[in-house]
Amino acid sequence: MSEDVVIHKGLENVYVKETRISYIDGVNGKVYYRGYDLEELVERSSYEEVSYLLIFGKLPTKRELYNWIADISSNYELEEGIIKILREVPKRNSPLDILKYSLLTIGLWDEKINSLEREDLYEKIVKILGKTPSILASWYRLRRGYRLVEPDPNLGYAENFIYMVRGEPSTRDAEIFDDILILHAEHGLNASAFAGMVTISTLSDLYSAVTSSINTLKGPLHGGAAGAALKMFREIGSPDRVEEYFEAKLARKERIMGFGHRVYKTYDPRAKILKNILLGLDLPPDVDRLFRIALKVEEVGMERLCKTKRICPNIDLFSGLVYLYLGLPDDFSPAIFALSRLSGWIAHILEYLEDPRLIRPRAKYVGELGLRYIPIEERG
């Protein structure tokens, strides 16, 4: 009871492992995947190549990338049992909930569900990566009463998703979606990555570990910020009301969505990339109106928050607007986040399996001891 311990709330600044997966330079606003500048990867690479880099620790050769893409695309098709479940569950369910239950169900078809052998893990990885976009695209269409679109294994990862959602491919929008996937693919040992690592530390199975990450992402403090930023833009209504909105929020000491990050002390580089993508698009009127509000929020926030308090724009300020441009509703934001982050989660899970140790933190007891048990008849 008198043990002298330090409580690290939220495990802030507690290091639990060494990693080679990613590095976030929060002072200079840079992100590196396996040593490669994220901005260069967005400009020159593809999500398939980046996912290979994150999971296997190196850029693939042409042959390795070809095989990797072929193995993922061969898993686009969903089992009939999964399609039946998607048709029958209530349409009120969020895409993220549909995704987590579907992945667990897909594991039931895996004869080696519990195997952590490298060869078996590879088969699970390409299955999870291949089927996730098909699950989300199918749910998008079923919830609207549309006929399902069969996946096309000849299309790339991003383009196949756009095709399954819309029923027709779009190279330009597929490129934008590919950029989104790369930008969200990995971001250090955040809550969801840690949750997956905790699960795999028990030597559980890969489906359970990934689902643990999804469950953690579901919380609005982690995966719901993009949708919350869209809600904020709609509440503000027009650019000329942004100053008034800031005054009221700051007076109540409430958070401005799309600003602040535990790691960054400057402008999130991912947000800059998304902003530039939006600036280069011919946006539909409803999205353009919200984007103009977002730009004003950015301007005021840079003066009121970033320059003085180092609370700067983060990726959520603009990501929801890109999803909206692509035709995805607000509640798809966390699910697209999960689709993108699969490769990062899996990379952390595999890295921890290289030298696994059961994660078992302690809690300092501060309650009473030696209380006398009172029979229920005597309790007032």
pLDDT digits (tens, 9 = 90+) for 194-248: 999 999 999 999 999 999 999 999 988 888 888 899 999 999 999 999 999 999 9
SS3 172: helix
State the average pLDDT over residues 278-302: 97
Angle between helices 118-143 and 206-217 (to 10 degrees): 40
State the average pLDDT over residues 160-170.
96
What local confidence, expressed as pLDDT, does residue 12 receive?
81
Mean pLDDT of 34-52: 98
Residues 6+ apart with CB under 8 A from 312: 259, 260, 261, 264, 265, 266, 267, 268, 301, 302, 305, 306
What is the rounded distance in angstroms from the CA atom of residue 132 to the CA atom of residue 334? 13
| Total residue length of the chain | 380
Catalytic residue among 205, 261, 268, 348: 261
Q: Which of 362, 20, 352 is nearest to 193 (CA)?
A: 352
- The per-residue pLDDT of the chain, averaged, comes to 95
Q: What tens digit of pLDDT does each residue of 123-159 get?
A: 999 999 999 999 999 999 999 999 999 999 999 999 9
Q: What are phi and psi of 33, to 5 degrees?
A: -100, 115
Task: Pick left, alpha or beta for residue 203 (phi over 0 → left; psi -120 to 50 → alpha; otherwise beta).
Answer: left
Tokens 């479940």 -> residue? 85
As given in the structure block, the two tokens for residue 377 are: 């008849």
User: What is the rounded CA–CA span in Å between residue 181 and residue 55?
Assistant: 15
pLDDT digits (tens, 9 = 90+) for 347-366: 999 999 999 999 999 999 99
Q: How far apart are CA 164 and CA 135, in angstroms?
A: 10
Partners of residue 23 on adjacent β-strands: 32
**173 catalytic residue (yes or no):** no
- To the query of whether residue 316 is one of the catalytic residues in this protein, the response is yes
Which residues fall within 8 angstroms of residue 4, CB to CB, at 6 or more apart?
none
User: Residue 14 pLDDT more than 80?
Assistant: yes
What is the reported pTM? 0.94
Given a cut of 60, is residue 2 above it in pLDDT? no
Per residue in 309-351, pLDDT (tens digit) is: 999 999 999 999 999 999 999 999 999 999 999 999 999 999 9
Domains of the chain: 225-325 (1.10.230.10)
Select which of 316, 330, 348, 355 is catalytic: 316
